[in-house]
Amino acid sequence: MLELYRQLTLPEGEEETLDAAHVARRRLRNTILRLLAAPGDAAAAEFVFKQFTSSKCMTDKYAALLALADMQQPQREKAFQMFFEDAAGDPLLIDKYFRAQAASDLPDQVERVLSLQQHDAFTFKNPNRLRSLFTAFVYNRPHFHRKDAKGYQVVADAVLKVDSFNPQAAARLAGAFLPWQRYDKHRQQQMKEQLIRIRDTPGLSPDTLEIVQRALKPAEEAETKKD
């Protein structure tokens, strides 16, 4: 596998292009990179970090960042710091920075999302920045659905915070709780508790209330049948 990765690496001095063959080669090479990164040890981190620092295009650089994002190695933080500094305020790259962090698979992922909300470059009032952090986290299933319900609480808190000034964005984020019935009873109860907390908040916007009521309707109908 390592030999194939090397075969797919361009020789020194040759530039990446956007033609179909180069795109396909990069895609395969970065798939192999994720497999080589899987051990998550120091050697794997150093190998991936080398691609990060030597990449000739953003596709390869970001693929390496995503691979490092799941590692508890010093190269992870170094790469994120370098990526942020190199972004030089470019909003699209800053969004990628938050998205990669929110999608990480680390034991303290929920706490990291909480910490990222305090980052100087994060603001709840920027819809793209909001999505880059929270949509990526919602799709990070093991951590959004963490057994202690902290993932649900973080998202519900964000819904309530955003609802006061951007009800449409808050309603979209509240949609993360719509499929609560798909999960085990323990998580169903936890998600319902957050939905009820949102619903019962004074001054909730009609946009968010509509989503929450739609989510809770099956539970309310079930209770009515019992009576």
Domain match, 31 and 136 both: no
Does residue 227 carry a pLDDT above 60? no
Does residue 13 carry a pLDDT above 80? no
Domain termination residue (choose one: 54, 87, 120)? 87
Share of the chain above pLDDT 70, in %: 97
What is the pLDDT, as a whole number, of residue 215?
Answer: 96
The per-residue b/e assignment along 153-178, b for 16 or more CB within 10 angstroms, e otherwise, is: bbbbebbbebbeebbebbbbbbbbbe
Domain match, 65 and 93 both: no
Instruction: Indicate the number of domains in the chain.
Output: 2
pLDDT category, 226, cuts 50, 70, 90?
low
Domain match, 225 and 143 both: yes
Domain match, 81 and 106 both: no
- Domain range for 30 is 1-87
Block residue for tokens 């009515």: 224
The pLDDT tens digits for 101-133 are 999 999 999 999 999 999 999 999 999 999 999
Domain match, 110 and 5 both: no
Domain match, 45 and 101 both: no
What is the pLDDT, as a whole number, of residue 55?
Answer: 92
